[in-house]
Amino acid sequence: MESATAADLIGTITPIDDLERRHIEQTLAWLERTDDVYRRFPPATPSPHLVACVVLVDPVERGIYQGRHRKSGLHLPMGGHLEPFEHQLAAARREAHEELGLDPSFDIVGDRPLFLTVTTTIGPTGGHIDTSLWFVARGHRDEQYELDPDEFDGGQWWDLDPYGIPDSDPHLGRFLHKLDSALRPALA
C-alpha cells in the first residue's frame, strides 16, 4: 500500500534528462517488488529507502539555501528518511520543521516533488542507497535559518548557479537546471 502511494507520486514527476528518467524507472521497478520503503535500522537497512529533501528556494532573489551536513561534509538541502508509514509530503514537512524550524510553504512548484534521485551515500555511514524526492519550499534570502546543530554546521544562501555550490549532492546541478526551468514561467 505504501509503495503504491509512493509510485503514484513518483509517476507525476516529469524527468529533465535521461538520468532522471532512469532513476524514476529504477525506483518504480523497486517499488513493484517491495512494500518496505522506510529505513528501519540506521544507517542503512533496508537499502534502498525513501528520503524527503526540502530545498529552500527564494524564487525572487534566485537563491537556494544549503546546510553544511555534519556526517557527509557536503552542502545539502534539508531532509531525511521517511518514518514507517509516513507519507512523503508529511516527511518533507516534518524535516523542514525539525531541521529549519519552520512550517514550509510548498507554493513555488507545488506540493509534489520536482526531482527524484537515486544516490549511494558517502561519509561515515555511507554506502547505502537513498532514493530522494526533492520538494521545493519557499525561503527568503534575507533570512538566516537556525539549522539543527546535530545535523548541520550552519548554512548559507547560494545563487541558483549549477556550478557555484562546492561540495554538494552530485545531482544538485541537474536539480538547479530543472528548478530554473520551472521558475521561468512563474517569473515571466
pLDDT in tens, 38-64: 666 666 666 688 999 999 999 999 999
Residue 30 backbone phi and psi in degrees, to 5: -60, -45
Query: Domains of the chain by range and CATH?
Result: 2-187 (3.90.79.10)
Which residue in 38, 30, 21, 183 sits closest to 116, CA to CA? 21
Q: What is the pLDDT of residues 84-94, one digit of tens each?
A: 889 999 999 99
Whether the Cβ atoms of residue 11 and residue 31 lie closer than 8 Å to each other: no
CB atoms closer than 10 angstroms to residue 138: 15
Cell of 178: 530543472
The pTM for the full model equals 0.91
Which residue in 12, 95, 108, 100 sits closest to 51, CA to CA? 95
